[in-house]
Structure 1
Amino acid sequence: MSTETARPKRSRAATRERVLDGALAVFAERGFGRSTPEQICERAGFTRGAFYSNFGSMDEVFLALWQRQANALVERLRAAVDDVQVTAPAGTSVDRAFTATVVDGLSGLTADVSWHVLTAEFSAYAARRPEVAAVIVEHRAALRHALLPMIVRVLAAFGREPAVDEDTLGRSVVAVYDGAMSQAMIEPDDPTPRRLALELVAAIVWDRSRPVRGQ
């Protein structure tokens, strides 16, 4: 690929990312339903042309933003799992040690409550639009698929393995996490709901696991 060909592609990708950054900021301030392409472009420092040369609609912007955030979450999870230190203080049961490991290792992932506010809003919006809902279902399935190896790895450190199929386990984790984080959306300054979200994730994973067969 020539330098001349590569440069416009890099520039287009950079423009797209700036538009998404602008969208994230505007959605967080105004909500998805009250935001416009003009507001997004103003925040990103572009004209309307930059918006429509990259996206065909506001739905498309949000779905692209959703995918970007999901990819970032998976990468952060991978890094967190890689750094997890399994500790079991004297007198601590194995299940409590597992919960402590999950909470300590993943505590940094619950800091941004604003994104959960947006996903709740957009999920309600998508519920009335099957074509948008179908895309979200696909994205969430991909996220569950990416999370499962990480769940398996942490369980293995405690001599356990999933006792249910991966779809059931993935859906259980996401449902519990989303439900607990709904409390954090209305209590953003209280760390308790965010900690509870991770404790419940640990509890559901432990409950749906078993000792590794043959050990």
Structure 2
Amino acid sequence: MPPTARRATRESRSGRGLRKRENTRARLREAAAEVIMAKGMEGARIDDVVRRAGFTRGAFYSNYSSLDEVLNEAIVERLAAMVERIEAAADAIEGEPTIDSLMEMLDSLRSEARVMYIICTEHMLHRMRHPDSPQVPAAGRRVLDTAIAGCVESLLARMGRRPVVAAQGIGDAVCLFFLDSLAEEATGMTIAGHDADDPRAYLRHIIGAIIMALSAPVTEGDAEAS
């Protein structure tokens, strides 16, 4: 076989090996997220992960050193996917955004947000119990924060408004109440003052209040300053 053909064969095998390894890691990350969703971080075991992924412990340890490590990668991966979903949902709003269209946008994110909320809460509780355990890389969280702030600024601009505090602060406030609504929905519990018969109407009221209170109409002076 000519040298160029042998080199091409080696490169082809190497490429297949890399793809196989990444597919294995992806299945382990997905399995870890599913197990932790079902059992919590304290109840999850590596045997649970490999069983769900269809691999052996050897396959796990040839890719990851611990459950913490695979969970951290799973969180970063899901944060990146969440960023894409948020940006796509914001772009899908036609015309000038309204509180109703913003609520529809949040509703479209409920399923993914619920998964992220549970996984990240489990990770946070695990870190509180075990402070020496690995942290999720800060860069992963910053990607989400930056994306949310960018969406807030873009949506407000389309509404003819501007933030009067940091856009990330508005995003954090909306996320706080949105995630709280997911917890209430899952547990059936309501916080004093919430409308138990229509919790989403209460959420709509709160988000509308946040948007109006933390933003202001764009004026000619704002346009000139920019």
- Please tell me the TM-score bracket, short chain as reference: 0.7 to 0.9
Letter of the structure 2 residue corresponding to residue 30 of structure 1:
K
Instruction: Tell me the residue number matched to 2:218.
Output: 212
Deviation at 1:104, TM superposition (A): 1.8
Structure 1 stretch displaced more, 51-60 or 124-133? 124-133
Separation in structure 2 between the aligned mates of residue 191 and residue 74 of structure 1, nearest angstrom = 32
Separation in structure 2 between the aligned mates of residue 133 and residue 173 of structure 1, nearest angstrom = 28
Map 1:148-187 onto structure 2 (within 5 A).
148-187=149-188
Separation in structure 2 between the aligned mates of residue 137 and residue 179 of structure 1, nearest angstrom = 23
Label 1:61 to 1:37 Cα distance change in 2 as closer, same or farther (>3 A): same
Letter of the structure 2 residue corresponding to residue 153 of structure 1:
S
Map 1:1-215 onto structure 2 (within 5 A).
2-86=11-95, 98-112=98-112, 113-130=114-131, 132=133, 134-135=135-136, 138-187=139-188, 193=199, 197=203, 200-214=206-220
Instruction: Tell me the residue number matched to 1:91.
Output: none
Q: Would the aligned equivalents of 2:80 and 2:140 in 1 still touch at CA under 8 Å? A: no
> Whose radius of gyration is greater, 1 or 2?
2
Q: Would the aligned equivalents of 1:181 and 1:194 in 2 still touch at CA under 8 Å? A: no
Label 1:186 to 1:20 Cα distance change in 2 as closer, same or farther (>3 A): same
Separation in structure 2 between the aligned mates of residue 118 and residue 198 of structure 1, nearest angstrom = 25
Structure 1 stretch displaced more, 112-121 or 97-106? 112-121
Q: Number of matched residues?
A: 205
Separation in structure 1 between the aligned mates of residue 21 and residue 206 of structure 2, nearest angstrom = 42
Deviation at 1:130, TM superposition (A): 4.0
Structure 1's unaligned 5+ residue stretches are 88-96
Label 1:58 to 1:134 Cα distance change in 2 as closer, same or farther (>3 A): closer
| Structure 2 SS opposite 1:144 | helix
Deviation at 1:162, TM superposition (A): 1.4
Q: Would the aligned equivalents of 2:76 and 2:136 in 1 still touch at CA under 8 Å? A: no
CA-based RMSD: 2.9
What TM-score, normalized to structure 2? 0.77
Letter of the structure 2 residue corresponding to residue 211 of structure 1:
P
Structure 1 stretch displaced more, 11-20 or 162-171? 162-171
Q: Would the aligned equivalents of 1:19 and 1:40 in 2 still touch at CA under 8 Å? A: yes
% same residue: 27
Label 1:205 to 1:10 Cα distance change in 2 as closer, same or farther (>3 A): farther
Instruction: Tell me the residue number matched to 2:192.
Output: none
Q: Would the aligned equivalents of 1:110 and 1:194 in 2 still touch at CA under 8 Å? A: no
Separation in structure 1 between the aligned mates of residue 202 and residue 24 of structure 2, nearest angstrom = 38
Deviation at 1:41, TM superposition (A): 0.3
What TM-score, normalized to structure 1? 0.80
